[in-house]
Structures are given as structure tokens and as C-alpha cells.
């Protein structure tokens, strides 16, 4: 069943008399339960696509719909259905780990006891039970990102979105977090879209990788056979194919 449908999506930003095309003609479909990585150069329109999915931006043309509905027009329908893990943790510094993890549930007006139970469940899943009373500044970057993951899962979203979620972490921490995140996604069978500029990360996480050109449009849609990342030769071959496709797209001129 199609969960996310992107049809002839186009986004042009206008700043005074200048216009800038961030998304040219983007088409893809994501089925329920799929884990898809979206990879493309910096500035190719990935976050803009995510913002349209979140209902924060309106498409200039075309449509991007979840369950047949467009987030910008149906903002209320999407309450509690989507969660995002951003690159920076976006935690509230004056709240404890537990209070941060319950934040989304609070906005959804879930009763206090239930939201504490749910948040604790997910904090345990990400290994932070002992830190529930700590404040963000007392945690490492990786731990803060784990709080963000717990917060995202706590609301029980149908779709989980990640925008460069592990992009600023050191490689060892990022790798561990990716593995743990993947496990949670598989356990919950959530539809998820993982945006990254890192091709290895895309191959590690996605069952399928969408490669975007600049401005955003689909250059390549590739299924990742299970076990690819355990096979360095196979991973290297796929990676070089993806790099070739991105490079052949040209330097990404600003119109």
C-alpha cells in the first residue's frame, strides 16, 4: 500500500525579484513499512522535501501526499502521525531527559501517567533509563540524539522522518546509533524516510535508496539487497555507481 506519494513535485523559492528552484520535478512512491534512504548533495533540496512532508512548506507545483493527504492543507490530520529526528537534537535545555522524551506526547495532550510510561519505555529502548533525570548539557552528543530518537518513537508515529540525524556525530558513535536505530525501526515496522548526504550511511540504513540530483529530482532508485553492508566489495560497487550518477548530474548550478 502506498504511504507516501510524490508526484511532479516542484518548489521555487522567491526572494524579492529572484527565484530559486530547490525541487525541479520529483517523483517517487514509498510503500507502508518501507525504510528508504534519500541521498543527494548538500543543497539539493532534501530538507525542503522534508519540510513539505511536515506541512511547513507548500509545493509550488505537484503534490507530496501521505495517505493521500497533503500535509500543508491537512495539518490537523497529521497530528501525531509523523515524527522527526533532526541533525541537531533540538532538546529543550531546561527539561530533563524524561521531560524531553514526553514533550511530543504532552503536545498531543496524552495524560501524564501514560506519557511517562511511554517515554520511559522508549528511553529504556535507547539505553537511557539511568539518565532520565539528567539535563541535556550533562549528556554526550550521541546520548542527546538518543533522547531525540526516544521522543520521536514515544508518540507512536506512523511515519518516522530523519534529516541527517547522525551527521554531526563521530563515525564510531554514528555507527552504533545507526545500528540501534535500525533495530527499532525493524521492530516497529514503521515507514521511514532517512535523509542523508552520506552514501555509506544511506546504504547501511535503507532497504532502498533514492538518489537525488540538484535541484531535487530522482536520478536513481535502487533496492539494497540484504547483507550488502556486510559485503565490502558489493557496498563499494554500489557506492561508486551512486557517485557516478550524482557526478554526471553536473555541478548543480544555481539556475
Q: Which residues bind ligand ADP (CB under 6 A)?
A: 13, 15, 20, 22, 40, 42-48
Retrieve residue 2's grid coordinates. Answer: 502506498
In the complex with ligand ADP, the residue whose CB is nearer, 134 or 220, is 220
In the complex with ligand ADP, the residue whose CB is nearer, 44 or 126, is 44
Partner in contact with 48, chosen from ligand ADP, Mg ion, none, beta carbon below 5 to 8 Å by kind: ligand ADP
In the complex with ligand ADP, the residue whose CB is nearer, 44 or 155, is 44
Element of type H or E holding 35: strand 35-39
DSSP state of 238: H
Q: Out of 47, 83, 96, 192, which residue is the one contacting Mg ion (CB under 5 A)?
A: 47
Answer whether 145's CB lies under 8 Å from 137's CB: no
Partner in contact with 71, chosen from ligand ADP, Mg ion, none, beta carbon below 5 to 8 Å by kind: none
Tell me the torsion sign for CA atoms 29, 32, 34, 40.
Answer: positive
Query: What gap in Å lies between CA 200 and CA 237, rounded to an integer?
Result: 11
Which of 149, 59, 65 is closest to 100 using CA atoms?
149
196 makes contact with Mg ion (CB under 5 A): no
Q: Which residue has the cell 537534537?
A: 89
Which window, 43-51, 108-116, 121-129, 239-247, contacts Mg ion (CB under 5 A)?
43-51
The distance of closest approach from Cβ of residue 191 to ligand ADP in the complex, given in angstroms and rounded to an integer, is 20
Partner in contact with 87, chosen from Mg ion, ligand ADP, none, beta carbon below 5 to 8 Å by kind: none
Q: What is the CA radius of gyration of the chain?
A: 18
Partner in contact with 191, chosen from Mg ion, ligand ADP, none, beta carbon below 5 to 8 Å by kind: none
Query: What gap in Å lies between CA 164 and CA 73, rounded to an integer?
Result: 26
Given the rule CB under 5 A, which residues bind Mg ion? 46-47
Amino acid at each position: 500500500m502506498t504511504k507516501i506519494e510524490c508526484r511532479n513535485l516542484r518548489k521555487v523559492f522567491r526572494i524579492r525579484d529572484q527565484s530559486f528552484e530547490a525541487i525541479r520535478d520529483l517523483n517517487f512512491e514509498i510503500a507502508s513499512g518501507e525504510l528508504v534512504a534519500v541521498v543527494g548533495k548538500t543543497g539539493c533540496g532534501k530538507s525542503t522535501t522534508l519540510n513539505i512532508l511536515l506541512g511547513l512548506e507548500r509545493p509550488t507545483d505537484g503534490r507530496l501526499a501521505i495517505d493521500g493527504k497533503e500535509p500543508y492543507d491537512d495539518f490537523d490530520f497529521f497530528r501525531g502521525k509523523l515524527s522527526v529526528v533532526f541533525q541537531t537534537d533540538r532538546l529543550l535545555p531546561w527539561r530533563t531527559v524524561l521531560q524531553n522524551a514526553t514533550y511530543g506526547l504532552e503536545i498531543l495532550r496524552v495524560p501524564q501517567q501514560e506519557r511517562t510510561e511511554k517515554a520511559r519505555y522508549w528511553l529504556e529502548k535507547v539505553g537511557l533509563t539511568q539518565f532520565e533525570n539528567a539535563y541535556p548539557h550533562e549528556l554526550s552528543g550521541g546520548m542527546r540524539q538518543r533522547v531525540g530518537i526516544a521522543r520521536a518513537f514515544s508518540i507512536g508515529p506512523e511515519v518516522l522522518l530523519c534529516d541527517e540525524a547522525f551527521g554531526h556525530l563521530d563515525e564510531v558513535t554514528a555507527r552504533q546509533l545507526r545500528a540501534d536505530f535500525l533495530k527499532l525501526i525493524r521492530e516497529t515496522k514503521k515507514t521511514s524516510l532517512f535523509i542523508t548526504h552520506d552514501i555509506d550511511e544511506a546504504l547501511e540504513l535503507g532497504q532502498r535508496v533514492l538518489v537525488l540530483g540538484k535541484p531535487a529530482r530522482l536520478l536513481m532508485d535502487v533496492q539494497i539487497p540484504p547483507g550488502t553492508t556486510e559485503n565490502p566489495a558489493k557496498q563499494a560497487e554500489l557506492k561508486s555507481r551512486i557517485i557516478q550518477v550524482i557526478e554526471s548530474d553536473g555541478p548543480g548550478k544555481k539556475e
